A and B are shown apart, each in its own frame.
Chain A
């Protein structure tokens, strides 16, 4: 027998609470009596047994049984026959590398799987599935329990985030289509609800963790050859922390920095004036649950150009940007934005437009439509004058704000935490924020067209903006699982993974997809070698505090589970109802006899 909703059984711990009303009712009533002489002669002890001997009426036991039956019925007990066709789905995402008392979650998951194998009969047929990079069968063959245990032993988790998947549907579908009697998902996420054929086995507990969520090395500006590095560190814990960040170039330490990070907050560290190295590595000196996200890799950008994707209904005004040296501009209409390949660009400029979700590139929003995710726009202001600005900020350098006069503006009402860089009396005109390691800037006025010396304050501000974005648009590297683009691979081209494995690229291949592990990948083309940094960039994997629960439920897999599950909780419910009726029958009789007794006594008195 097992329970489909075992959490309900915790309700059994509340059963003793039923005693409370009886104990309260039994609280001794105080009476003043003429003399206790006769009571003393009865043998009553004057000091002990203040509550007397606990004598519980029959109705109490009926109520206890009634409650117990209802709680057990809520637990949905079922008789189970031993399943013969079983699927084991192993979560092999990056968070499974987190340590739990010296063992990784994946090792714990293997142990749980071994327990399941031990419970199954030797004739059971097992299929193994992995969740990353996508839910797919492992090995392509079925296993006996002993073979499955051996196969599992050779598996390790990858540095990938978990694919966004509705596990309830996916597991039910798997059970239905592949005719599995039972599907076990062994993961580090908790489960809510229950399902007929699917079972979720959770390993690990919520943990505090620190993570480098973004690391990039870039040129200081379009005109500056020196390198700067910036790293963003997240504190996924409930207490403030001081962390030391070590920056390495080609594996050798070149700089360190200490950061104070509030609980649940992000902090950034910037390293300026770095010498050129083939690759850089940032590491936080912390012994936390997940070691993987304590390191991040970057390769310095060699390009001196900023590639901009403009999205505007007025392309001619944006076109003026081409006048700035080092700017390469492509413009698309807002309707074509979703269709365009945006991976090549270092900046996206939304000119009187806004995407449905924030772009995965740094972005500049110029007078976005109202109700965007970043800001709301206030009422329009004609010829607004600047009332304040952030001194020393790269965006305000060399700008004479006395002469800075946008013709038209709509002050901004920020919806996210960030910085107001330029302010007017009516509100913010320039708002900067950072999310997931990307810079976003919103302007409440239109700085275009770029007029050069004809409007010097606005032109300097525009160049500052381009410089500011360029400084951040260095080779950000790739996220694990993201393919490395290769333009027309030729015979002999190879990719060397961080583990030293060599993969030959097929001639004509345009991408190398197997970026499952974090580190520096080497693309070897003829005599040319280029480095690509690949990092885990999934905060869901790093934030181990409260993983999202897997919601199970629905009857979609009921058919597949019919053969193994025989629910009998309705019988418990029926028994509870019968007891309730019995109680109804008994209680009024007891009350009546009690009232009769009371009346008799009063009459006698």
Chain B
């Protein structure tokens, strides 16, 4: 049984979607995604001079009639897609609780995985965390593997510290095929760390989409006015500050600036970016926000 929100109706809505890629990959099997190779699809790609041995069926007789030269029509090859879903499984994703942050993040990952599976493409889920705790699923293909996707993420408890660049590098060592990479995290890490991580993905010739997941408590911390002693969920570092309206406004301004920097970096790097605050409508995010940023065809 799939958990909420993966109802039959929700799944059928997902089946109508297809991931959009801005790059062409060399696929393993025939599929529905463009490949740099020439193949036998219906989509015209180019011409080339006829050479003996070419299949006469592809001769463009119109050009021959006009120019008395023989040209062969070339078509795109359509291949299957390899999608990699990277989900942040560090301790910060368990704040304020797994149910409120990590679960929505894993549901986004599962929903996107289902979109891939429904198109008979390949999907692999990677959990980012400490290098020793970083694990990944096998490649899944076909709708029926949706249950495995969900169970894989559900069996995980977020914990430990995460260095995004190091963790991604750890996973990329095992990647053999380029494809679509979807990175889901709260991105509450220094800019240098996530930029280095995303550059690693880019260097691996992956088409990247970034989804930042935050809870409402992180957007609007609910501390009562007065002295506050904050403890970092990952590092256990402590910080004291005086919390009041001014501090609250200051915090929200800094968070907005931080998110803006992520968005700006993604834009410059050709990466899809979207922010999901977990108290918002999940279906709306999947079926309205993500298509709006061009993640789906």
Contacts and interface: CB of A to CB of B under 8 A. Distances in A.
B156 to A, nearest CB: 17
Interface residues of A, number: 33
Contact of A37 (B190, B222, B229, B242): B190
A37 B232 CA distance: 9
A38 B188 contact: yes
Contact of B229 (A31, A38, A604, A605): A31
B247 A28 contact: no
A36 B229 contact: no
12 contacts: A28-B240, A32-B95, A33-B95, A33-B230, A33-B231, A33-B233, A34-B218, A34-B233, A39-B241, A40-B239, A51-B227, A601-B220
A29 B226 contact: yes
Interface of A: 25-42, 44-46, 48-53, 55, 598, 601-602, 604-605
Max chain B C-beta neighbours (<10 A), residue from A26, A33, A52: A33
Contact of B216 (A25, A31, A604): A604
Nearest to B232: A36
Given A35-B186, A36-B237, A52 B231 contact: no
Contacts, number: 112
B262 to A, nearest CB: 12
A349 B268 CA distance: 122
Where chain A touches its partner, the secondary structure class is loop
Closest 4 pairs between A and B when the two form their complex, measured CB to CB:
A28-B227, A35-B188, A34-B95, A52-B242
Nearest to A55: B242
B20 interface: no
B59 to A, nearest CB: 63
B227 A52 contact: yes
Interface residues of B, number: 39
Interface of B: 92-93, 95, 101, 186, 188-190, 215-218, 220-224, 226-235, 237-242, 247, 250-251, 254-255, 258
B197 to A, nearest CB: 15
B188 A41 contact: no
Given A39-B239, A42-B241, A45-B240, A25 B226 contact: yes
Given A25-B226, A38-B254, A40-B239, 17 more contacts: A28-B226, A29-B226, A33-B230, A33-B231, A34-B95, A34-B233, A35-B92, A35-B233, A38-B188, A39-B230, A39-B239, A42-B241, A45-B240, A52-B226, A55-B242, A602-B222, A605-B217
A31 B190 contact: no
B258 A41 contact: yes
A37 B226 contact: no
Contacts of A41: 254, 258
Nearest to A594: B225
Contacts of B93: 34
Given A34-B95, A34-B188, A605-B217, A29 B223 contact: yes
A33 B221 contact: yes
Contacts of A48: 240
